[in-house]
Amino acid sequence: MTDKYRRQLPTLEDVARRAGVSRSLVSLALRGQEGVSDKNRRKIQRAAVDLGYKPNVLARNLASTATRTIGIIVGDILNPFQALLAREADAAARDLGYEVLLSINGTTDEAVLASLEELRAHRVAGLILVGAPRDRAAIRAIGSGLPTVYVAQHLSAFGVDSVSNDDFQGAAIVVEYLVSLGHRRIAYIDGGNEAGAALRSSGYAETMLRLGLSPWVVPGNHTLEAGDLGTLQILKADSKPTAIFAANDLCALGVLSRLAQSHVGVPEDMTVVGFDNLPIADTAMVSLTTVRQPVSAIAARSLHALTRRMSDPVVTAEHVMISPDLIVRRSSAPPRRDE
Neighbours of 161 (CB within 10 A): 26
DSSP string, 133-200: ---HHHHHHHHHHS-EEEESS--TT-SSEEEEE-HHHHHHHHHHHHHHHT---EEEE--TTSTTHHHH
Q: Mean pLDDT throughout 284-288?
A: 96
> What was the pLDDT predicted at 2?
44
Q: Mean pLDDT throughout 225-231?
A: 98
Question: Which residues touch 79 (CB under 8 Å, ≥6 apart)?
Answer: 131, 222, 248, 250
Q: Would you list the domain boundaries of the chain? A: 11-53, 67-165+294-322, 167-293
Look at residue 159 and tell me whether its pLDDT is greater than 90.
Answer: no
> What was the pLDDT predicted at 143?
85
More confident site: 267 or 34: 267
11-53 is a CATH 3.30.365.10 domain: no
- Angle of helix 80-95 relative to helix 249-261, nearest 10 degrees, comes to 150
Of 110-124, 159-173, 245-259, the one with minimum mean pLDDT is 110-124
Tell me if 49 sits within 8 A of 25, measured CB to CB: no
Look at residue 226 and tell me whether its pLDDT is greater than 90.
Answer: yes
> What was the pLDDT predicted at 59?
43
- Residues shown for the chain: 339
Residue 126 three-state SS: strand
Q: Write the pLDDT tens digit of every residue in 290-322.
A: 999 999 999 999 999 999 999 888 788 899 999
Look at residue 33 and tell me whether its pLDDT is greater than 80.
Answer: no
Residue 127 three-state SS: strand
Of 104-118, 177-191, 212-226, 319-333, the one with minimum mean pLDDT is 104-118
> What was the pLDDT predicted at 75?
86
Integer Cα distance of 210 and 33 in angstroms? 73
Look at residue 235 and tell me whether its pLDDT is greater than 90.
Answer: yes
> What was the pLDDT predicted at 298?
93
Neighbours of 315 (CB within 10 A): 12
Band the pLDDT of 128: cuts 50, 70, 90. Answer: very high
Tell me if 251 sits within 8 A of 230, measured CB to CB: yes
**Which residue in 38, 44, 149 sits closest to 89, CA to CA?**
149
Q: Mean pLDDT throughout 269-278?
A: 97
Q: Write the pLDDT tens digit of every residue in 168-217.
A: 999 999 999 999 999 999 999 999 988 889 999 999 999 999 999 999 99
Integer Cα distance of 289 and 4 in angstroms? 42
Q: Do 11-53 and 167-293 fold alike per CATH?
A: no
What is the identity of the amino acid at 60? R
Look at residue 221 and tell me whether its pLDDT is greater than 60.
Answer: yes
Residue 268 three-state SS: coil
Look at residue 64 and tell me whether its pLDDT is greater than 70.
Answer: no
- In terms of CATH, what superfamily is 67-165+294-322? Response regulator (3.40.50.2300)
> What was the pLDDT predicted at 76?
84
DSSP string, 73-115: EES-TTSHHHHHHHHHHHHHHHHTT-EEEEE---SSHHHHHHH
Would the CA dihedral through 276, 319, 137, 307 be positive or negative?
Answer: positive
> What was the pLDDT predicted at 54?
64
Tell me if 129 sits within 8 A of 153, measured CB to CB: no
Integer Cα distance of 242 and 259 in angstroms? 12
What is the identity of the amino acid at 15? V
| Mean pLDDT rounded to a whole number for the chain | 88
> What was the pLDDT predicted at 47?
87
Look at residue 244 and tell me whether its pLDDT is greater than 80.
Answer: yes
Q: Could you tell me the CA-to-CA distances from 270 to 213, 249, 330 in Å, in that order?
A: 18, 16, 11
CATH T-level assignment (fold) for domain 167-293: Rossmann fold (3.40.50)
Q: Write the pLDDT tens digit of every residue in 136-153.
A: 888 888 888 889 999 987
> What was the pLDDT predicted at 338?
59
